[in-house]
């Protein structure tokens, strides 16, 4: 039993190490993805191209303008353009927002109960538009408070952000990325490894041997578990040292959940390999069934709680949903096994179901 497991794993390791191209992809892909998500694709915004139209030209309006320019959020590209050019500015995408300080700004400020400043935003990117609006609301609140300290608000919210006080998006992305990459690699490699033997015809030889299918499956799964683990440790180390993602919880618990999650990916790959007959089919099926749901439905990017009920139930069936809660909990909050017991059970349950189904479906004949 031991000999045959080792023999199958050894053979699989040889396949992996001799296919240098695939090996490079497997090792480089997570690194590239991490760089992409970490540096290029951030949700944080700065240097928003802005047109500032100051029709007031008073000390008050200059004061307000200084408040705007105190951070690098706004970058003034043009000033004081006539009203009829506003639309052109947006259409030519010279700026994303236009701030208009009215001519009676200073006077109104001293005599009227309410003074208005106009903000025009290009909302073709609604997220950005929202962000800009919030930002300028904050700035004007600060300004109001400075010039009118006695006009106290009845109450104010004093936020304190736990676990990620600076709202760094890679705290969010690095765990999510691990979830996507591991699932993809473990599922993809496993399904391709088995389907390739089907395609080449070597499975026919293995099937007529006295080896039990469970031995074949486990023997094949060992190398890919190792690779998936190496990949995730790689991403974690990079996340920790390059992006300063903290590790507050137990490393043992982290390693255990990683293994459990890799196992889910492997068993999914296995299932795919039992129902597909060519490497292309297996690749398409795995990509479709892992990347899309993992990115869209697992809470990687979009919060699950705000999805329609149907999708919330679907999310419960996606391994990444539970793994994300586990890994974010361990890394950012220092959660313990007791805190995560529900998620761990979910993940283990999904893995077990997938393994049982695929072992049942793994046919020992060619029919």
Partner 1 sequence: MVKKSMKQPTIEIKHLVKTYGMVTAVRDVSFTVGEGEIFGLIGPDGAGKTSIIRILVSLLHADSGEALVQGKSVDGAIAYVRAHVGYMPQRFSLYPDLTVEENIDFFGDLFAVPASLQKTRKEKLYDFSKLGPFKKRRAGALSGGMKQKLALSCMLMHEPKVVVLDEPTFGVDPVSREEFWNILKQLSANGTSILVTTAYMDEARLCDRVGLIFEGSLLAVDTPEHLVNTFPTPIYRLSGSAPHVLYEALAQTPLKNRISLFGDGVHILDTQGEGPEALRRQISDIDAPWDALEPIAAGMEDLFLSLMKE
Site residues (CB under 8 A) for partner 1?
3-4, 7-8, 11, 14-15, 18-19, 200-202, 204-211, 364-367
In the complex with partner 1, the residue whose CB is nearer, 142 or 360, is: 360
Choose between 208 and 352: whose C-beta lies nearer to partner 1: 208
How much is the CA Rg of the chain, to the nearest whole Å?
Answer: 28
Length of the chain: 367
Which residues, 6 or more positions from 85, have their beta carbon under 8 angstroms from its beta carbon? Answer: none
Half-sphere exposure of 131 (CA within 13 A, CB side): 14
CB-wise, 26 or 184, nearer to partner 1? Answer: 26
Q: Which of 279, 161, 179 is nearest to 231 (CA)?
A: 179
**Closest approach of partner 1 to the CB of residue 25, in Å:** 16
| Least distance (Å) between residue 245 CB and partner 1 | 38
Enumerate long-range contacts of 351-358, CB under 8 Å, 24 or more apart.
351/260, 351/263, 351/264, 351/267, 351/319, 354/264, 354/267, 354/268, 354/270, 354/271, 355/263, 355/267, 355/270, 357/271, 358/217, 358/267, 358/270, 358/271, 358/273, 358/274
Cβ proximity to partner 1, 264 vs 273, nearer residue: 273
16 DSSP 8-state letter: H
Beta bridge partners of 99: 52, 119
CB 284, min distance to partner 1, A: 24
Nearest to 219 by CA among 27, 3, 16, 364: 3
Give me the least distance between CB of 26 and partner 1, in Å please.
16
Q: How far is the CB of 265 from partner 1 (least distance, A)?
A: 24
Q: Please, which residue, 1 or 157, has the CB nearer to partner 1?
A: 1
* Cα 167 from Cα 103, distance rounded (Å): 38
Alpha carbons 121 and 337: distance in angstroms, whole number: 47
Closer CB to partner 1, residue 59 or residue 210? Answer: 210
CB of 300 to partner 1, least distance (A): 36
Q: How far is the CB of 178 from partner 1 (least distance, A)?
A: 30
Helix (H) or strand (E) segment spanning residue 118: strand 118-121
- Is 4 or 234 the residue whose CB approaches partner 1 more closely? 4
What is the side-by-side strand order in the sheet with 48-54?
A: 74-79, 48-54, 97-101, 118-121
Q: Which is nearer to partner 1, 126 or 210 (CB)?
A: 210
Minimum distance of partner 1 from residue 28's CB (angstroms): 21
| Integer Cα distance of 345 and 290 in angstroms | 20
- Comparison of 7 and 118: residue with beta carbon closer to partner 1: 7
Q: Write down the least CB distance from residue 19 to partner 1, Å.
A: 7
Please compute, for residue 27, the number of CA atoms within 13 A of its CA located in the half-sphere on the CB side: 9
């Amino acid at each position: 039993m031991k000999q045959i497991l080792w023999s199958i794993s050894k053979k699989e390791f040889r396949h992996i190490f001799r296919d240098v191209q695939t090996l490079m992809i497997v090792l480089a892909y997570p690194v590239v993805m991490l760089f992409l998500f970490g540096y290029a694709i951030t949700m944080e915004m700065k240097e928003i191209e802005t047109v500032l139209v100051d029709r007031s030209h008073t000390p008050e309006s200059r004061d307000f303008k200084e408040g705007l320019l105190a951070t690098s959020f706004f970058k003034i590209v043009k000033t004081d353009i006539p009203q009829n050019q506003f639309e052109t500015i947006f259409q030519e995408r010279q700026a994303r927002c236009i701030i208009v300080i009215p001519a009676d700004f200073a006077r109104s400020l001293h005599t009227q109960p309410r003074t208005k400043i106009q903000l025009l935003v290009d909302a073709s990117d609604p997220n950005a538009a929202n962000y800009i609006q919030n930002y300028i609301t904050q700035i004007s609140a600060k300004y109001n408070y400075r010039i009118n300290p006695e006009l106290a608000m009845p109450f104010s919210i004093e936020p304190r952000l736990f676990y990620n006080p600076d709202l760094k998006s890679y705290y969010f992305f690095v765990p999510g990325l691990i979830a996507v990459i591991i699932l993809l690699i473990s599922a993809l490699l496993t399904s391709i490894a088995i389907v390739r033997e089907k395609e080449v015809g070597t499975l026919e030889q293995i099937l007529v041997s006295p080896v039990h299918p469970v031995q074949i499956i486990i023997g094949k799964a060992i190398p890919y578990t190792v690779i998936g683990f190496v990949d995730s440790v790689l991403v974690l180390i990079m996340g920790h040292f390059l992006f300063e993602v903290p590790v507050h919880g137990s490393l043992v618990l982290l390693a255990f959940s990683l293994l459990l999650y890799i196992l889910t990916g492997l068993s999914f790959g296995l299932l795919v390999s039992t129902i597909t007959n060519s490497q292309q089919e297996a690749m398409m099926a795995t990509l479709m069934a892992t990347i899309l749901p993992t990115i869209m439905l697992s809470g990687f990017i979009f919060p699950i709680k705000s999805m329609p009920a149907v999708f919330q139930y679907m999310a419960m069936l996606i391994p990444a949903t539970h793994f994300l809660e586990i890994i974010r909990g361990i890394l950012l909050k220092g959660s313990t096994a007791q805190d995560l017991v529900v998620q761990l059970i979910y993940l283990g349950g999904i893995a077990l179901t997938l393994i049982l189904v695929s072992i049942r479906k793994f046919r020992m004949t060619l029919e």
